[in-house]
Amino acid sequence: MFYQLFRSIIFLQDPEKAHERVIRLGKFFGENNLTNFLKTLFNYEDPRLNSNVCGIDFKNPIGLAAGFDKNAVFTEFIEGLDFGFEEIGSATFEGGGGNEKPRLFRLVKDNAIINRMGLNNHGAHEINKNLTNRKSKIPIGVNIAKTHSPKIMGDKAIKDFSDSYKTMTEGDYLVLNVSCPNTLEGKTFEDPGALRELLAEINSLRISYGDTRPLFAKLSSDVDNELSGILQVCEDEGIGGYVLSNSSSKRESLRTSQKILKQIGMGGLSGKPIREKSTKIISRVYQETKKPIIGVGGIFTAEDAYDKIKSGAVVLELLTGLIYEGPWITKKINKGLVKLLEREGFKNISEAVGVYHK
Ligand SMILES: Cc1cc2nc3c(=O)[nH]c(=O)nc-3n(C[C@H](O)[C@H](O)[C@H](O)COP(=O)(O)O)c2cc1C
């Protein structure tokens, strides 16, 4: 109730300016060692939420999705809000300012966001340095993408991705964002041929560096007929798991008027309207690969989270839900998950993974 009031004030501000203020606030909390104070407000612990995925310990399954802390500047703040982990980025080898503003829009009637930020970030070197200096203890996913430039294509694109990989030495797991919907050159690496080349190159680097961090591929929520082909490539190249899913370029069944949608223009849709879509992809990928899945897309409640876990996700991430529901969202979902586990007789969250398909 309090956040609903607070939210109506925040929502009077331009969405990107509001986000910049949150970044400043987050940095302030981190720099002034206020994480423990935040924990007194937001902390919720229950051993039934602990899990180990690919050798990484998660104290709860709710992580922050890529795009909120692109430059890894407030991982302490995110830990203070009781997120179980955080995915930073997308980091690109050459940093960049992203697309022209305005590029971030709220669809309040739909509990959704459209963004065409265009991979604005400070570049792999600076982001890795920020991670080196972090004091937070939560697991960190490092999401890398190709530098946003139509000039970097083909072999240059593979080299650009590899340069980011070589630079991003920090973090607990790696994510290749091959599905950004907001670049001029399009989603280059969801083409199976290009994806195979990319994965082969990154894998050979991982072997030569003895890098044991698990490697995930982040796919779009719009993949459909092409999904099996993409999965075949990922499996052939020994991918560790999947992040499902990125935002959507589609505009299906929205309450927001066509006129407003036209004014907004292109961009990735996130939040409630993509919840079911991303859950369906999780189900499909779980059944086809049985690989660890980080489920993301439209999570606002414990029920949304549980549905994705039962569909096959091992841990989850959210972003739009945080903006609409506020910083209490992690505690609310984690508490709710424990109740749902109790109701269904599970002793630990990992027992519920993929039960829809068993
Ligand atoms: C403002 C904004 C920026 C984002 N930036 C990135 C990004 O840089 N890299 C990425 O992989 N995903 C990015 N995403 C996608 C999210 O990580 C997530 O996959 C998507 O928003 C669906 O989750 P949600 O419905 O909980 O927001 C962004 C999303 C939003 C709303």
Q: Tell me, in angstroms, the distance from the centre of ligand 1 to residue 269's CA.
A: 9
Regarding predicted confidence, which is higher, 231 or 191? 231
Asked whether the CA dihedral 234, 235, 236, 238 is positive or negative, the reply is positive
Ligand 1: does its nearest atom lie under 6 Å from the Cβ of 136? no
Q: What is the pLDDT of residue 181?
A: 72
Q: Whose CA is nearest to atom 9 of ligand 1?
A: 90
Q: Which of 161, 187, 270 to mutate to test the pocket of ligand 1 (most atoms within 8 A of CB)?
A: 270
- CATH for 2-357 is 3.20.20.70
Ligand 1 centroid to Cα of residue 115, in Å, is: 8
Query: What pTM does this model have?
Result: 0.97
How far apart CA 242 and CA 225 sit, in angstroms, is 17
| pLDDT tier, 217 (very low <50, low <70, confident <90, very high otherwise) | very high
* C-beta separation of 353 from 313 below 8 A: yes
What's the CA-to-centroid distance between 196 and ligand 1, angstroms?
24
Identify whether the C-beta of residue 134 lies closer than 8 Å to the C-beta of residue 160: no
Q: How far is the CA of 176 from the centre of ligand 1 (A)?
A: 14
- pLDDT of 186 > 80? The answer is no
CA of 217 to the centre of ligand 1 (A): 14
Find out whether the beta carbon of 118 lies less than 6 Å from any atom of ligand 1.
no
pLDDT at residue 84 greater than cutoff 80: yes
For residue 270 and ligand 1, the question of a CB distance below 6 A is answered with yes
Nearest CA to ligand 1 atom 30: 67
Distance CA 59, CA 56 (A): 10
> CB 333: neighbour CB atoms within 10 A?
27
What's the pLDDT tens digit per position in 304-356? Answer: 999 999 999 999 999 999 999 999 999 999 999 999 999 999 999 999 999 99
Q: What is the pLDDT averaged over residues 13-41? A: 92
pLDDT grade for 1, boundaries at 50, 70 and 90: low
